[in-house]
Structures are given as structure tokens and as C-alpha cells.
Amino acid sequence: MVLAWLVHGLLLERMAREFVESRLKDEVAFLEHQIRQSQGDIDTLQTGDYFQDVFHHAFAIRSPDQTLISPTAWAPLLSPLLRAERDGSVRLTDSTVAGAPSDILAFRRSFTVESTPIVVIVSEDLGALKSSQAELHAWTAIVSILLILLLVAVIWLGINLSLRPVVTLKAALKRLQEGGISRINVQAPDEFRPLVLQLNQLLDSLDQRLERSRDNLANLSHSIKTPIAAVRQTLEDASRPLDSELRQELVTRLGDIDRQLEAEMRRSRFAGPQIGKSAYPVNQARDLLWMLGRLHPEKTFELSSDLNEERRWPLEEHDLNEILGNLLDNAGKWSKSTVELSLLEENEHMKILVNDDGPGVSPESLDSLGTRGLRLDEQIPGHGLGLAIVREITERYGGILSFDTAACGGLSATVDIPY
């Protein structure tokens, strides 16, 4: 605005000078016309204060016989211009002549009428014009300042109105920190809605982890309580000798405890959905297939996927390894010769398909695969090994684990997780 104000002053002065100069040219042309009509006799012209009163101009006319200057107070300023030889616009400033303006703009033209040389000068006092310019320029500055203040007020009001949801969100976060609410439920703008959803998702994840930890501890306590009691009772019974049969029973009980601890420890390592965590499914799948190919050299492990190696899935790396590892391990144990792994993306869903050519599972048993609570599936080899873990991880990401009969007769396992 300051730069615009400065440019406005320069343009205003330039336009005013051009306008005055144009008027002076017109007046000189008018006087020239009058003098030519009078055949050079300047006494016939309307003199006195005619031009000063009507046009606010001063003039000077010189012929070989006489010189007319009106008003007479301007004579010290215009006389030197009559004696000059250059025609056109002339600017005189800082004049100290009494009764005359200090700043004038004059236009001089010389011509001949019937061989008589005539010089005509019309001038105008720029003081009044400059005073008007200064007043207009000052009002422009005042209006500009008012516009700036209005603009600042509008911006301040707009920012406060637009950030009101942020203030509400801040208050909700404070109440959440103080324990007044358990979830953030505010009408946030579209730009902040993903943030609110992510915060609520993080809170849900923390609650789910706490609940899972308590459930796992309760399950672990319940599972190992009986084997420990049996081992303790056996060791406290001094009447029974520690023969091979009793030793084998203790080994079996301790093996049960070890398997339960291993299963719960594996569950405790699952991360679930985490912001900023991702995995490279193609690279991890290739590494697992190479490892399983070394464990089962007599079988073929195939990978089919349209994904490139740089494609990321929003899954925690260890969780994806558990899903792929358990599904491929089961398929590798039960397949006859071939295990097929497919990685797909359809309708914003991540899909993992594992097919084997093994004996398969009866249709009535498909629904029970991977059911939580069937701990036997986690303790013996077969399709049930680790499927409960796969189902639990899949459900943490809001996905579905389903089973079907493969085209080759074996088992087909599908993991479908939305983005």
C-alpha cells in the first residue's frame, strides 16, 4: 500500500502537468487564431482580466510595436520568456517576485502574421493545483490506511472464525488429558478430520492392547495353573519314586507350560495398526519363500503379484511376517508339491492368497479353522498351527481371514485387509 501510494503521487503529478499543458496549448492556439483574424492587431483582443478570470491563466503577447502582459504582476516572470528563443513548455519554480506565484507552467509559441513576428505565452499558477494534489494525495493515504485497518480486521475475524474448530479441538484434547472424555468427538474441518480420526484410532489401539494384555495374562494364568499344580503335586509326593514314567509325565507337563508361554509370547509381539509403520510385501514374501524352499526342497513355492518391490502396505513388518509365515508354513507342511502365494490390491483392499495342493479340509471344518480358543490348533502340526494367530492379527487391522477349497483340491486361505 505504501508503494501504491508513492506511485499514485508520481502519477498524479504527471497527469496534472500533462492536463495543464494541454489546456495551455489550447489557449495559445485560441490566441493565435484571434490574432490571425485581427491580422496581427493585438489591440482588438479582449485584454484586462479576461483570461485570468475566465480561464485562470496569465498571458503575454509581444509584437514589434507593443507588449501585452496580464496580469501586470506577472511581468517579471513572463518578460524573460518573451525574449527567449525556444518554444514549448517552460516550468519556473522558486520565484521570489512579489505578487506573482512561485511556481508556474507556461507554454510559448512564436509565429508570423503578414510578415509580423508575434510571440504568445499562456501560463498558469501551479500552486493551487499542487495544493489540490496534496489534499487528494492525503485523502488517498487516509483511505488506504482505513482500508488496511479494515482488511486487518476482516482477516483477524476470518482467522478467528475459521480456527474456532481448532479451539474446540484444543479444549477437547485438554478434557481428554484430564480424563473428562474418552474419545474426541468434535466437528472439525476437513483438514483436521484425519487428525481426529487418527487420534481416536490411537486411543482405540491403546485400549485394545490393554484389554488384550489382560486377556492374555488371564489366559496364560489359567492355562499353566493346572500343569504347574500337577508338577508341584508330583514333586511334593515323597512316597512316589521318580521313575521313568513319572519323569515322562513331568516332561509332558513342562512341555505344555512351554508351549503355552511360547504362544502367549508370540501374541504379545503383535503390534497392530500403527501410524507411520509400513512393510514391503513383495520383498518379505520372497524372503519367506526362499527360506521355506530350503526347509522343503522337494516342494515348489511360487509367488504371483502385480506389485513392484517398492510398493508399501500400511502393516507392521513383524505382523506381516507372522501372517505370511504361518500361512506358508501350514501350506508347506500339508502340500504335495506346490504352494502358491498371491499378493493383490483390489478396491483399496490388501489381499493375501495362499493355495496348496494338499488333502484339504472338509467343508464342515472350514469355519472352525483359526477360531480363537482352539488352543489345540497352536500345539500340533497341520492347518490349525498359527491360524488363530493369523486371524487375530487380521482382525486387529479390521480385516477378514477366510478359508475355502482350492482349485487343486487343497486349502485356500485368504486374508483381506482394508487400507
Distances (CA, A) of 331 to 301, 340, 351, 398: 10, 9, 17, 24
Least confident piece of the model among 127-136, 240-249, 252-261, 265-274:
265-274
Contact 8, 137 (CB under 8 A): yes
pLDDT value at residue 415: 93
Q: 240: which 3 cell numbers?
A: 512316589
CA distance 78 to 70: 10
pLDDT value at residue 393: 86
Q: Tell me, yes or no, if the pTM score tops 0.85.
A: no
Alpha helices (H) in 303-415, listed in sequence order: 317-334, 363-366, 387-396
Q: Report domain extents, the chain.
A: 2-131, 193-268, 281-418
Which CATH number applies to 2-131?
3.30.450
Strand order in the sheet with 338-346: 300-305, 338-346, 349-356, 411-418, 400-405
pLDDT value at residue 218: 73
Query: Which CATH number fits the domain 281-418, given the four candidates 3.30.565.10, 3.30.1360.120, 1.10.150.390, 3.40.50.1970?
Result: 3.30.565.10
Contact 412, 406 (CB under 8 A): yes
Confidence of residue 383 (pLDDT cuts 50, 70, 90): very low
pLDDT value at residue 375: 40
Angle 236-237-239 from CA coordinates, rounded to 5°: 145
Query: Which has the higher per-residue pLDDT, 200 or 57?
Result: 200
Between strands 338-346 and 411-418, the pairing is: unpaired
CA distance 184 to 171: 10
